[in-house]
Structure 1
Amino acid sequence: MSDNFPPPPPEQPQPEYRPAAQPSPWAAPAGPPQKQRTGLIVTLAVGGGLIVAGAVVALVHSAMDAVQDSIALPPRSDTPYSEPYGEEPYADEPAPEPTATAPDVKEDVTITACTRDPQIGWQSAKVKVVNGTSTTASYHIGVEFLDKDGTKVADGVTGVVDLGPGKSVVEEIHGLGEVPRGTTCRLVDLTRMPTGD
C-alpha cells in the first residue's frame, strides 16, 4: 500500500475573538429620532411669566389704591395762613419770667492771627473762642481765606467741643492749597450748640 496521501492543507489563521461592542452611556439612544419640543416649552414659559407679571401688577395696583384710600387728607382751606394760637396761662399760674438772651456767637469767636506759611504757601488762622453763655457749649467755626480782590482762594473748619461757661480756647485752622501773598482771613459758618446745664 502506498503512502500517497495528499499533503495536508496549509494552516488557516484562526479569527481573533473580540467581544461585542457595548454602547457608550453618553451616546444618543438608538431608535427613531424624537421630535424636539423646545418651541412648546419656550412658549409655555413666556406665557406663564406674562401671567405672573400681570398678576403682580394687579396686586400692587390694588394695594396702592387701598393705601391711598386709607390716607385721607383733609380738604385744602382757602383761608390765609395764620400763626397757631399760643396756650394761655391759667389765671392762678404766674406767667413765666423772660429768659436772658444769649450773646451772639460772633461775640464768642475772634481771629487772633492770619498767616501764610513762607515754605509751602498755605494760609492758616488762629481763632480764640470764649464761651460767653451760662451753659457748656460746642462750636463749629469756618474760615475763608481771601485774596487781595476779596475772592475766596481756600477755606477751613474746626470745632470746639464742650467748652464750659466763661472758658476760652485757641484753635488753628489751615486752608488747603497754596494762596497768594496778602491773603486775608474771614470767619464764616459760626454755630454754637448748648451741650450742658
Structure 2
Amino acid sequence: MLVLGILIAIGLVVDDGEGGRSKDSGTVAEDPVREQDRYPPTPTRGGAVGDVKITKCAVDPVTEGTAAGLLVTNRSSKTSDYTVDVEFLDRSGKRLGDGIGATRKLAPGQQADVTAQGLVRITEAVTCRVTDVTRYASVT
C-alpha cells in the first residue's frame, strides 16, 4: 500500500522536458480566491433597455453636433447608475455616429433627463436609436 502511494505521488509530478518540473494537468491547484470574488457580476442589460425613452433627436444647426434627449426611469428596486449608448442614423438607416449619456444614483421610481451627445459633425437630419443600456446598482 505504501509503494502504491509513493508511485501515485511520483506520477503527479512530471518532467516538462526543459529540466523543470510541472504538475500533472489532471491535478487542481488550490486557489484561495473564490470565482465570484475574482470577476464582478455582469451588469443588468436586458431589463434596463425599457427604462429609457428617447424624447428628442436633433442636429444643432450651428455646431452640427448631434444630441439625443433621453428620459431614464429607474424601474429597478435599487438606486442605480445608468449608461446609455445611442446611434445617430440617416434617413436610410445608415449609421452616422454615436453618443453616450449617463446618470448616477437614480432612486427606484425616480426619473432623470439625460443627453447623449454625439462627437461627429453631421449636416443632415438624423434619427436616434438606443443600442445599449447598462444599469448598475449604485455604490455608496
Which category describes the TM-score, using the shorter chain as reference length? 0.5 to 0.7
CA offset at residue 131 of structure 1? Answer: 0.3
Is 1:185–2:128 an aligned residue pair?
Answer: yes
- The residue number in structure 1 matching 2:26 is 74
Q: CA RMSD in A?
A: 2.1
Q: Residue deviations 1:120-159, cap 9 Å, x none?
A: 2221111111101111111111111011121111111122
CA offset at residue 161 of structure 1? Answer: 1.5
| Aligned AA (2:76) | T
1:116 corresponds, among 48, 55, 59, to: 59
Between Structure 1 and Structure 2, the one with more strand by share is 2
Q: Is the 8 A contact 2:99 2:119 kept in 1?
A: yes
**TM-score in terms of structure 1 length:** 0.49
Q: Distance in 2 between matches of 1:179 and 1:106?
A: 26
- The residue number in structure 1 matching 2:70 is 127
1:89-100 superposed matches below 5 A: none
CA offset at residue 195 of structure 1? Answer: 2.8
**TM-score in terms of structure 2 length:** 0.67
What secondary structure sits across from 2:49 in the alignment?
helix
Identity of aligned residues (%): 31
**Structure 2, gaps ≥5 residues long:** 1-17, 28-45
**Structure with the larger RCO, 1 or 2 (CA within 8 Å, 6+ apart):** 2
- The residue number in structure 2 matching 1:176 is 119
- The residue number in structure 2 matching 1:33 is none
Any runs of at least 4 consecutive aligned residues in structure 1 with deviations exceeding 6 A, and if so which?
none
- The residue number in structure 1 matching 2:88 is 145
| Aligned AA (1:194) | A
CA offset at residue 160 of structure 1? Answer: 1.6
Q: Is the 8 A contact 1:147 1:180 kept in 2?
A: no
- Structure with higher Rg: it is 1
Q: State how many pairs are aligned.
A: 105
Q: Is the 8 A contact 2:49 2:132 kept in 1?
A: no
| Aligned AA (2:47) | D
